[in-house]
Amino acid sequence: MKTIAVFCGSSEGASSIYKESAIKLGQELARRQITLIYGGANVGLMGAVADAALEQGGQVIGILPTFLQNREIAHTGLTELMMVESMHERKAKMAEMADGFIALPGGPGTMEEYFEIFTWGQLGLHKKPCGFLNINQYFDPIVSMFDMMEREQFMQPKYRSMVITDHTAEGILEQFSSYVAPSVKTYLTDQRT
């Protein structure tokens, strides 16, 4: 894997464990010479993961919509900062440039980014792994929701394997290296296989 997109909070969260984990992820990406692709901001966990990768000599590419430049405070020390026109362009670029996607704890923006890329995988638009770095059990309610979706037959069991979770950066990257995408979703002929 050469590039990983990280979705994470523009806030730091209530506990220092979130920032510490963002730092560990940034360091681990740099150590493995994986380029970090992220939202380009200098705030919250976004700033923390980028700074940590850069401090370890890693490559970091930020993708920031112009209208967010001041609100999210553009990171000025990145390997490259790509300015785009819209959120849609930002997400499309991240999807295109990354070989895999990791969500760290965050708010609605993080969730939106994760779910969009997850559903694109389910639709067969890409075959890249998407994972939750489950710090402080933050993503447990979402994992339970996926269990509910499967149990209540709103998600086919074969897509459950797309929900990758791990407590450590090393663990999630190891899971990514052996990831095989399920076959493409079809509605008429592919039910419950």
List contacts with ligand AMP (CB under 6 A). Answer: 9-11, 39, 41, 68, 72, 87, 91, 106-110, 112-113
Compare residues 39 and 121 and give the one whose CB is closer to ligand AMP: 39
Nearest to 2 by CA among 80, 82, 99, 95: 99
Instruction: Give the shortest CB-75-to-ligand AMP separation in angstroms.
Output: 11
Q: Render 155-190 in DSSP notation, one character per residue.
A: S-HHHHTT-EEESSHHHHHHHHHT--PPPPP-SSS-
Instruction: Give the shortest CB-148-to-ligand AMP separation in angstroms.
Output: 23
Distance of CA 188 to the CA centre of its chain: 31
Compare residues 3 and 156 and give the one whose CB is closer to ligand AMP: 3
Token couple for 34:
């994986």
Compare residues 99 and 112 and give the one whose CB is closer to ligand AMP: 112
Compare residues 47 and 58 and give the one whose CB is closer to ligand AMP: 47
Cα radius of gyration rounded to whole Å, the chain: 16
- Alpha-carbon distance of 71 to 49, in angstroms, equals 18
Which residue's Cβ has the minimum distance to ligand AMP?
109
Compare residues 83 and 156 and give the one whose CB is closer to ligand AMP: 83
Instruction: Give the shortest CB-176-to-ligand AMP separation in angstroms.
Output: 21
Q: Per DSSP, which regions of the chain are E strands?
A: 3-7, 35-38, 60-65, 80-84, 101-103, 130-133, 164-166
Sequence letter at residue 50: A
Q: Please say whether the beta carbons of 155 and 143 come within 8 A.
A: no
Instruction: Give the shortest CB-7-to-ligand AMP separation in angstroms.
Output: 7
Instruction: Give the shortest CB-14-to-ligand AMP separation in angstroms.
Output: 13
